[in-house]
Each structure stands twice: as structure tokens, then as C-alpha cells.
Homo-oligomer: A and B are copies of this chain.
Amino acid sequence: MRATFMFGAGDVRVLDAPDPTIQLPTDALVRVTRSCVCGSDLHPYHSMPPTDAGSTMGHEFIGVVEAVGADVRTLRPGDFVIAPFAISCGVCEFCRAGLQTSCVNGGFWNDPSIGAAGGQAEAVRVPLADGTLVKVPGVTEDTDDALLGSLLTLSDVYGTGWHAAVKGGVSAGTSVTVIGDGAVGLLAVLSAKQLGAERIVLMGRHDVRTRLGVELGATDVVAERGDEGIAAVRDLTGGGSQVVLEAVGHMPAYDQAVGVVRPGGVISRVGVPQYEDAPVGFGSLFGPNVTLTGGPAPVRAYIEQLLPAVLDGTVDPGRVFDRTVSLDDTPAGYAAMDAREALKVMVTP
């Protein structure tokens, strides 16, 4: 089959790779219908040291089950499935508590320790298939593209935006600021709107994206950054936002979150931090009793809840896809996202 590999910063190639096979009785084989490139794929695209071996890529895909191991109970060949970005057993303490990203038996795609390759490929071996995959009745490979795109966002970006809003405690009437106009930030806007937020300030400076953000529910857009951006949000919200959803992961976004949050408020982070240390002392979080929460989204916990509104068209999170490439053109997809010519790139095998 064809599969995507990264050999170093900026070096993405689509190559022939061995067809995946069932290796454990809890495995499934999934033929990929759609996959995509994630903002977080751009981190290694910027920084990965050159390597001869290469890493498989992709952690978001939807597809059709081709075969299952002897112990798989909930899936059969032909089932249409969504694959969350974390592999999870479904039975450990953390899976039962809805924190599948901390599954004690699971792991992540492209991690050789669990033997799972990436989703930017024609097919994928799925470990712990019962715990990992979510079956979607009534959908096939021939379902219309818009709906397939929305289902694909449930692999990661929609569930991640939702996680930000849930952990932030967004509810009816909350004032929310979303930092970042990437796919996760925009779907954090959608999620906050769904959860009843009254005011949703989107901090972002890419016109096309913030316009989509307004369509998804943002009530205000602040294009300024740094102190100017902080002042603008504090002014708009009368002294700071009760909830801040941080969907970037870089240090300036953290500083912005601390700057715009209201005393007693919550900063909920879902952008993967590109830093380890950050201010948390009296002058930042402690003094004003600000709560810092968030982490990798256990999207598996949210898919069943979010699915009905996607299937009936109430929400259309797939609008974050603004470009589609064939699998062999995946490298061009990375380049387009890196150059910010594309917001999020879908890959068709």
C-alpha cells in the first residue's frame, strides 16, 4: 500500500509500504476513507532531525473495517468507523472515566511501542479495536464529502475543541475567549457556542479563518496580539474573560491567556505546549485564583455525544477543511498548511 512518512523537517514522502495485517486478536484492519494533516504534524515538520528510517504520519482517519481479530466483539468487516487520535482499551480505569488519552494499555498512532502506524495511508492496523474505534451506522465510503469531512473532525479537532470548552466549564451565559484561529480554535468556538456561551471573542489574525469563526459562533474578533490584544479583550469583556480556550500551544499564547482571563476564571489548554515551564505564581495564576486545565482531548469520550448533530447537519465542523489532496500529494498538503495557504488539508487515498 501507499503510506506517508516523514524523514526530517520539511521532508515528507509517500512510499510503498507493507500492507498492515492483524497481529493480535484485539486488532482490526481499517481501509482509510479519509485522513488529514493536523496542525500538530507541523511541529515535527519544523523540527524533526533527519533520519533514514522515517516515521509514519497521521493520527486522524475514518474508514471501513476490512478484517477483525478473533477477540474483537463490537466490530465487523464493512463497519464504517471513526478512529480517535488515541488508541485506548476501553476497559481500564481511565477509559471508564472518559480519559482515554491516559489509557494504561493504549497509546498513539505512529508509536512503534504499540505497533500502530499512521493514518495518512491506504490502510491501518488498529490495536485494541473495540476500545478505540467508534462505529457509525448508516455511513459508507460513498457518503457525501461534506459529511465525511465533519465525521473526520471527530477524530481530533472537533473533539479537541469540545474538550477545551468542557474542561473550561463553558455553560449558558459564559464569556469565552478563544486563542488561535486554526481548526481546533475554530471548533472550540463552535463548541463554546453549542454549550451556550454568550460572548465568544476569537483571537486570530487570518481573515479567512476568523470570518469562518464568526460563522461558527464568534461574537467578536481581536486581530491584535501581545499587550494590544490583551487590552482589546479586557476592554471587550469588561475586565477579562471568565473562560479562555488556548488552542495554539506556543508560549505567547499562554501569556495571552494569562493576560485576558478574569480573576477566578479558567484557562483551558488544548494546544500541545511547545514549552515546559510557564508562569503560575502570584503574579499570573495564583493571585487571581485562576485555574489552569486541559490536555490531550479524550475524543473517544465525546464522539457518541457529538455525532447526532453532525449526522443530522445541525453542525458542520468539516468546514475547517479548505483543501483536499490525494494521498500521493500529501507532501503538498503539509506545505500548504505550513505556508498557511490552507487551514486544514483532507487526504483522500
| A contact set with B: CB distance below 8 Å | 94, 97, 99, 101-102, 167, 263-264, 269, 272-273, 275-296, 298
Contact = CB atoms under 8 A, between A and B. Distances in A.
A3 to B, nearest CB: 26
A102 B276 contact: no
A17 to B, nearest CB: 28
Nearest to A284: B276
A272 B296 contact: no
Given A275-B281, A276-B281, 16 more contacts: A97-B264, A99-B264, A101-B289, A102-B264, A167-B291, A272-B282, A273-B280, A273-B281, A276-B280, A280-B292, A285-B295, A286-B294, A288-B295, A291-B292, A292-B292, A292-B293
Nearest to A281: B276
A293 B289 CA distance: 7
Contact of A273 (B101, B286, B289, B291): B286
Contacts of A289: 99, 101-102, 167, 293-296, 298
A279 B281 CA distance: 11
A162 to B, nearest CB: 14
Q: Which of A99, A264, A289 gathers most chain B CB within 10 Å?
A: A289
Given A94-B263, A264-B94, A279-B276, A295 B287 contact: yes
